[in-house]
Amino acid sequence: MNATIALLPGDGIGPEVISAAERVLRSVATRFGHDFTIASHLIGGMALRAGHPPLPNETREACLAADAVLLGAVGDPAFDTGSSEGRPETALLQLRQALGVFANLRPARVWPGLENGGAFKPERVAGVDMLIVRELIGGIYYGEPRGNDGQSAFNTMRYTRSEIERVAEVAFQSAGDRRGLVTSVDKANVLETSRLWREVVTTVGERYANVTLEHQYVDSCSLLLASSPKQFDVVLSGNLFGDILSDEAGAVVGSLGLLPSASIGGRAGLFEPVHGSAPSIAGQNIANPIGAIASVAMLLRHGLQAVKEADAVEQAISSALSEGCRTSDLVTDQSVTAMSGSAMAEEIVSRIS
């Protein structure tokens, strides 16, 4: 297989975790006889510091020409007081829209050996394996009009029937390959957009006789995600609610640093760990690279249709964790010594077979 992969290390811990992910990609290429053309490009705060807009034209064109895009993180406190157009995060919104990736897949599972790895009781989280399907290029993040005059501010939450229908199809198809349950999340008791959401999702669900559909208000869902997470299979939500719920899922499974994502449906898939740029720990080699490495597995599976290669990466992650490899965010026993991010990456690379 020949494939072109655009790397966007970005800000904060982004370059560290993408360096680890690139090692995994190159190991997979060697092990399975593939030819990956891999090149890095500026985005976010790093682009701004170099005198470019958050998403330089060169980066946009490279991503549009690639077979898949792997992103680290965007976000730099130095630009937090700037206009929306001059903030690093604008690059991510623009890139998602340019690629047309409307469905964001965020799996969250408790890896073997990490049942005691978080704040929740092991019996509550053991066996958790859910997939959050988040609509990605609509809703309040993109709705117009929007504005802030210093005295008042407003945003517009807007969804069309077709936008809801296409992401719902992804959720039901995914559930058909899993345990056959879709939990659709909305706020239909107060929001008109959520009433349309519920109506359209219900209609799509009628086409999938093998999948059960349930509806949850977002506040109720967030409570159940913490109190009874094993009940969830596929969680379908809009842009804002999905962003929030997937971070909560990170706490359930032990660390946000474990969570990957795949944004699909457009010209090329965009793959990235769910975590942010975490500037407070950048440059210390302590960031957990597993979210980025698991995003490589999703890139292989969803972006390049390389299923056995994706399985090999996930099995390597599982092996490393089950044998006790831990970065600092996963250490709950003070007798366990945390390893560096690069050491965790090496442990995973050594297990790819």
Q: Looking at the annotation, which residues are catalytic? A: 141, 187, 219, 243, 247
Query: Residue 322 — φ and ψ, nearest 5°?
Result: -65, -25
CA dist 70 and 25 (Å) reads: 11
CA-to-CA dists, residue 314 to 211, 247, 296, angstroms: 26, 21, 9
Pinpoint the alpha helices (H) of the chain.
14-32, 44-49, 57-65, 89-99, 122-125, 161-176, 192-205, 218-227, 239-253, 290-298, 307-322, 341-349
The answer to whether the CB of 253 falls within 8 A of the CB of 116 is: no
Q: Which structure tokens are listed for 263?
A: 């944004």
Could you tell me if residue 349 is left (phi over 0), alpha (psi between -120 and 50 degrees) or otherwise beta? alpha
| 3-state DSSP percent of the chain in helix, strand and coil, to 5 | 45, 15, 35
Across the beta sheet with 129-135, what order do the strands follow? Answer: 35-40, 2-10, 68-73, 269-271, 262-264, 103-109, 129-135, 234-237, 181-186, 212-217
* Burial class, 144, CB count within 10 angstroms (exposed 0-12 / middle 13-18 / buried 19+): exposed
User: Do the bridges between strand 129-135 and strand 103-109 make them parallel or antiparallel, or are there none, so unpaired?
Assistant: antiparallel
The answer to whether the CB of 103 falls within 8 A of the CB of 133 is: yes
